[in-house]
Amino acid sequence: METASVRRQGDTVPASSYTERLYAPWSYWVIAFGVGLSFVTAIGWYLGPWYAVGSAILTACGIATVLLWVGSVRIRVDSRGLWVGRSLLEWEYLGPVTALDAESSRLRLGRDADLRAFVVTRPFLLKAVEVGVRDAADPHPYWLVGTRSPAGLARALTSPNRPGPAS
């Protein structure tokens, strides 16, 4: 587990110092289309070839829509702060940043979880970053963000070249 500190206010950050899209892995696509193929085969045997063609088109569109939706979350660190999807945690409210390994992430999502936390992760992501929230009005004590590169995201959030409150 890595813990990083918050830097000084007045520093600058590049337009986008970190970007990641949480795409579904290729294995999800293979499994989904295998299940879809078995569904279409059953429809074809039972109702005939025209129903099989129609169900194949609908099934392929449905599978692609769901898997693209799973991969629609984008994590970005820029001059305004941390973006997770359409949610923004501005630099002035960013607290301590901790990169979590697989075991720490599992515990933070389970036994050690705070139900008030803002959590964005996917089942295929084993690691996460915990970002404290320094805003008394915010109902979320921290953000837990699933990522493939927790060290990279934590580094971008604690970079000396980014704005933030004095430590």
CA gap 24, 29 in Å, rounded: 8
Phi/psi at 21 (nearest 5 deg)? -110, 135
Q: Report which of 125, 127, 129, 126 is spatially closest to residue 117, judged by C-alpha positions.
A: 129
Q: Report which of 66, 75, 59, 50 is spatially closest to residue 148, judged by C-alpha positions.
A: 75
CA gap 83, 19 in Å, rounded: 9
Q: Report which of 100, 95, 97 is spatially closest to residue 1, judged by C-alpha positions.
A: 100
Mean pLDDT of 101-117: 94
Domain segments of the chain: what residues? 2-22+74-157, 26-70
Region of 48 please: left (phi>0), alpha (psi -120 to 50) or beta: left
Position 111, amino acid: R
Average pLDDT, the chain: 86
Q: Is the dihedral of CA 125, 129, 135, 139 positive or negative?
A: positive
2 band by pLDDT with thresholds 50, 70 and 90 = very low
CA gap 142, 93 in Å, rounded: 10
Q: What is the pLDDT of residue 162?
A: 61
Q: What is the pLDDT of residue 69?
A: 85
- The alpha-helical segments, DSSP class H, found in the chain are 26-47, 49-70, 102-109, 150-157
Contacts of residue 10, Cβ cutoff 8 Å, sequence gap at least 6: 163
Mean pLDDT of 121-140: 93
71 band by pLDDT with thresholds 50, 70 and 90 = confident
44 band by pLDDT with thresholds 50, 70 and 90 = confident
The number of CA neighbours under 13 Å toward the Cβ of 23 is 7
Percent of the chain scored above 70 by pLDDT? 86
Would you say residue 42 has pLDDT above 70?
yes
